[in-house]
Structure 1
Amino acid sequence: DNSRTQKEGSQWTYKHFHGFAPIMSYVGKEGWCIGAELRPGSQHSQNDFVPFLNTVLHRLRRVTQAPVLLRLDSGHDAEDTRREVANHSNVDHIIKLNPRKQYTVTAWLPAFEAKGVQWNERRPGKTSATLSISHETDYGKQRLIIRIIKRTTDSVGQYFLTPDYELEGWWTTLDEAEYSDDNVILLYEDHATSEQFHSEFKTDMDLERLPSGKFDTNDLVMCLGALTYNILRYMGQTCLIGPDSPIRHKAQRRRIKTVMQELVYQSARLLERGRQFILRFGRHSPGLSAFMNLFPEKQLC
């Protein structure tokens, strides 16, 4: 949100305020940032997305040769995206369906009834069913999963006059023999974690409102922010997960804000003796032992 500013590229966004439309790419459960690009606020997410995706996947292959699962929201439901993913080996995808005109409950409910799918109760008054359809294309086999949710009551038990239906869908290349419809849906739902990473980038690092009036300068600030984000993420994974961590509860990762509070915002004195600089901490500094873990391996401090 960069409302009430005259910054270059700050335009009306789909969230109904003036700002930018950056695109980010994260990898792993820890949320390492491997792609960050600032875009004008009115630019659609799919516009120039394929070159960005190609760059990110090539960059990722410099880090690991392990199988990759790509999770994308409905803004990237396009044949160009699926075709580009097919050009990269050992990469599968789950892409949320953009429910266009042909994807309506009226059109698909008869297909569910014809297949005799099983409806599963998720709570009293709410049931759901899924249907998988394979599409053979010139760039490989694509699997479409359609889920219809039927509600006869709301969450507190109030009955509706007529049933309420909701249709969702996902494109994937995961094999149906190894990944059931429910498995694929659960894998995609974890995609929401990326919103937490994005929140840390904007809020914890104070990059919600970019500082310059020039678009290129703000793009540079964002790229440097991504580098800083990864450094802080590394510090958190190295120092704040193990037994020396001053934080007592277990976690797979620490928020960027927590990393800054525990490792960056520490009181110390900078001394110069014998042409050497010495960083002296207090004797009872709670994060000192965790902070010292950065020295032997990467010399980040």
Structure 2
Amino acid sequence: MKRFKIEQSDADIVSHGGLALIGQAVKRHTNITREVDTQIPLRHGIKHSDVLKSYLAMLCLGKNDFEAINTIESEFYFMSAMDIGDIPSEATLRQRMDNHAAAFLPIIEKASRDFLINIQPTLEPLKTGHIPLDADVTPMDNSGSHKEGVSRTYKGCDGYAPMPVYLGQEGYCLEFELREGKQHCQKDTPALLDRALRHARQITDQPLLLRLDGGNDSIENIDLVLEHNQVFADRTPVDFLIKWNPRKESKDDWLAYAEQHGRWETPRDGKRVAIFSVDHQRQWKGYEYRVRRVMRLVERTIDKKGQLLLTPEIELEGWWTSLSIDEPAVIQLYADHGTSEQFHSEFKTDLDIERLPSGKFATNALVLGASMLAYNILRWVGQNGLLGPDSPKRSKAKRRRIKTVMQELMYVAARIVKTSRSIKLSFGRGCRSLHAFSAVYKALAYG
């Protein structure tokens, strides 16, 4: 085996050529530069927009800590790609985000929505023709820290319990609200859902299906959807699918009801499954609502290992819905809601934001807002660059993970060639991402 000689080249080579995509997405499809610099006064120093865009670039490379700003390889390329005049130091980045977190947050959240509105992503509907709108709390483990707002979550760890809202099977993020770990998942959720529904209306005209977990089994959420449909009566309706929380319901009573009204199946010896629907009256602020609930009851007299049980085990589940389709289809639609857990994972692991970098709650909320914009840009880049015939060869999929987008398009090495009139990105002869990179760049920069 030959030994390599190690030397340093005079060429300006970067390992994160994909920042050119991020810079074009921010410049051409958001107003973050103008809005943050005009709305928040600054007497002297690096512009607010330069600070925010620098941190956004680091998030798109999977780095959320403020110290990562010291790891930039080529300052010239970094500033050119992100269209900034200067790079903040670690101290400036931290202090600026701490001091202006409350003012920065609504601007960067709006930039995330503006990107989706302007880019108009392709959304694949469900079999019913709906675009799913999935919301669920995802605890973030920040154990061993003394950060503001860290407390015990329902998962049994100390941390935060933010609630994101995802649009479409592709998983674009409309909201990502930071919450204290001890906060109940239903608290402040109606206001969050109201914002998400209004934002979704700006992105797609297709019918929406709101899906929520059992922790959000509240008539208030159903009332919100019905009221929203009244306000937007001229638009396609929003349907809901919410997991029922049985609380103190008697399983024996429901077994007796299922014996009379359920459709029973026996998938194996010792296991019977009944599926049926009931119409239930629910009250809220003096009004009565008649809501359909799809039910599934499972009775086991033999466990999966073949052991006879002394007393039957009864499992009871239900789903509130405005859909009129048959029960198995409703249950399958809710099972697909579990895909949102993958989106949580991409935020936590691929963008590496589970352990938030600041001790201040407002700053960490800003970090989530910036990560939402980074996530949406990377998601769109992956959907449009890594699924077509010119993309690097991989197994067929409907969606690429954020980590894959980083590996194939963000961390792609390129040589920086400066001429009197332009700057060129020169990729290696064997670069398999060249065609995909070029196609996405043209769509962002010239589309």
Fold-level match, TM-score > 0.5?
yes
Deviation at 1:88, TM superposition (A): 1.9
Which of 185, 188, 202 does residue 331 from structure 2 map onto? 185
User: Which moves more between the two structures, 87-96 or 291-300?
Assistant: 291-300
**1:92 is aligned to 2:239:** yes
Structure 2 partner of 1:168:
317
Matches within 5 A, 1:96-107: 96-101=243-248, 103-107=249-253
Structure 2 partner of 1:216:
362
Deviation at 1:226, TM superposition (A): 0.7
2:270–2:302 Cα contact (<8 Å) kept: yes
Deviations 1:263-284 (A, max 9, x none): 1111111222114221111011
Deviation at 1:87, TM superposition (A): 1.1
Secondary structure at the counterpart of residue 293 of structure 1: helix
Structure 2 partner of 1:151:
300
Deviation at 1:140, TM superposition (A): 5.0
1:240–1:259 Cα contact (<8 Å) kept: yes
Matches within 5 A, 1:220-231: 220-231=366-377
Alpha-carbon distance in 1 for matches of 2:197, 2:387: 28
2:271–2:298 Cα contact (<8 Å) kept: yes
Deviation at 1:20, TM superposition (A): 0.1
Alpha-carbon distance in 1 for matches of 2:280, 2:318: 14
2:263–2:276 Cα contact (<8 Å) kept: no
1:86–1:139 Cα contact (<8 Å) kept: no
Q: 1:14 to 1:136 in 2, by over 3 A?
A: closer
Q: Which has the higher strand share?
A: 1
Deviation at 1:139, TM superposition (A): 6.6
Secondary structure at the counterpart of residue 210 of structure 1: coil
**1:122 is aligned to 2:241:** no
**1:5 is aligned to 2:145:** yes
Q: 1:139 to 1:35 in 2, by over 3 A?
A: farther
Unaligned runs of at least 5 residues, structure 2: 1-140, 230-236
1:141–1:173 Cα contact (<8 Å) kept: no
Structure 2 partner of 1:67:
207
Deviations 1:162-208 (A, max 9, x none): 21111111100111xxx111110010000000000111111111011
The one-letter code matched in structure 1 to 2:180 is P
Deviation at 1:136, TM superposition (A): 5.2
1:36–1:226 Cα contact (<8 Å) kept: yes
Structure 1 vs Structure 2 CA RMSD: 1.4
Alpha-carbon distance in 2 for matches of 1:242, 1:123: 43
Deviations 1:42-77 (A, max 9, x none): 100100110001000000001112111111000100
May I ask how many residue pairs the two structures share in their alignment?
A: 295
Deviation at 1:212, TM superposition (A): 0.4
Deviations 1:82-115 (A, max 9, x none): 11111122011110011111x2212212222233
Deviation at 1:130, TM superposition (A): 1.7
**1:80 is aligned to 2:226:** no
User: Which moves more between the two structures, 217-226 or 152-161?
Assistant: 152-161
Alpha-carbon distance in 1 for matches of 2:192, 2:168: 18
Which of 241, 252, 256 does residue 402 from structure 2 map onto? 256
Deviation at 1:286, TM superposition (A): 0.9
Deviation at 1:123, TM superposition (A): 3.0
**1:131 is aligned to 2:285:** no
Alpha-carbon distance in 2 for matches of 1:109, 1:144: 16
Which of 3, 11, 27 does residue 167 from structure 2 map onto? 27
The structure with the largest alpha-carbon Rg is 2
Alpha-carbon distance in 2 for matches of 1:62, 1:12: 36
Structure 2 partner of 1:277:
423
Q: 1:203 to 1:139 in 2, by over 3 A?
A: farther
Structure 1 partner of 2:131:
none
Secondary structure at the counterpart of residue 219 of structure 1: helix
1:104–1:167 Cα contact (<8 Å) kept: no
Structure 2 partner of 1:207:
353
Alpha-carbon distance in 2 for matches of 1:228, 1:157: 50
Select the structure with the greater relative contact order (CA < 8 A; seq sep ≥ 6). Answer: 2
The one-letter code matched in structure 2 to 1:30 is E
Which of 168, 187, 193 does residue 53 from structure 1 map onto? 193
**1:16 is aligned to 2:156:** yes
Which of 370, 382, 385 does residue 236 from structure 1 map onto? 382
Alpha-carbon distance in 2 for matches of 1:247, 1:158: 48
TM-score between the two structures when normalised by the length of structure 1: 0.94
Secondary structure at the counterpart of residue 247 of structure 2: coil
Alpha-carbon distance in 1 for matches of 2:252, 2:269: 24
**1:265 is aligned to 2:414:** no
Q: Which has the higher helix share?
A: 2
Taking every aligned residue pair, what percent have the same amino acid on both sides?
A: 49
Alpha-carbon distance in 2 for matches of 1:40, 1:67: 33
